[in-house]
Amino acid sequence: MGAGLAWEGGRHPGWPARLGPLRVDAGLVALRPPKLFDATTWSRIRMRDQSYLENWEPTAVDGWPERNAAMSWPAQWSSLRSLARRGQALPFVITVDGDLAGQITVGNIVRGALRSAWVGYWVAADRARGGVATAALALVVDHCFGDAGLHRLEATVRPENAASLRVLAKVGFREEGLFRRYLDVAGDWRDHLCFAMTSEEASPEGLVRRLAAQGHVRTA
């Protein structure tokens, strides 16, 4: 069995899961698996926030409206669910006070001796401030290093994305280097900074407790 599928008992540890809630200035933040009926809300937010999001996401070859139309969600949802069931991803919807406000996904999970993955997220423009991304990332990292049994998480971000850089710094990710022309974003190959964290760096108290002690989040 390949390293990417070598989890115990043939079942993905840590999935399915619901995480949180945590209280931040924006409201009550929680994470849940994506659902088929998220299509309309998901599409409405993505279409409304095109100018806010598309500078940080992979280029939509078929166009932003086509990729983010409600009718495109079922295929994306099915793919995420399939990856989660095979142990290759941990996909979550971010909610604030029960309403969909973004997504956070742990992808390319490799087990065996590596036990590593990447994490990526987006948050709706009207929820971009108030601690939502920070709370969601802390919840996911603690889950990955706990029930999901991972050892290392990576996050890549464009150097121009100041908001995401602040979130990663607040949570405790450390910068490891610069990936030149790493990803096709907004129509061109863009440099990305690589950040990472290992389970030892989040221990012993975990990120949620650490951020709560610093006053950034409150357990509900």
CATH code where residue 127 lies: 3.40.630.30
pLDDT of res. 4 = 38
Using one digit for the tens of pLDDT, what is the confidence trace for 112-122?
999 999 999 99
Whole domain around residue 86: which residue ranges?
3-219
Strand order in the sheet with 19-24: 174-185, 188-198, 152-157, 116-123, 99-110, 90-96, 27-32, 19-24, 218-219
DSSP letter (8 states) at residue 58? B
Domain count along the chain: 1
- Give the HSE-up count for residue 207: Cα atoms under 13 Å, Cβ half-sphere: 28
Separation of alpha carbons 55 and 165, rounded Å: 15
Separation of alpha carbons 204 and 220, rounded Å: 21
pLDDT 10s digit of each residue in the chain, 220 long? 233 334 444 467 899 999 999 999 999 999 999 999 999 999 999 999 999 999 999 998 889 999 999 999 999 999 999 999 999 999 999 999 999 999 999 999 999 999 999 999 999 999 988 999 999 999 999 999 999 999 999 999 999 999 999 999 999 999 999 999 999 998 999 999 999 999 999 978 899 999 999 999 998 7
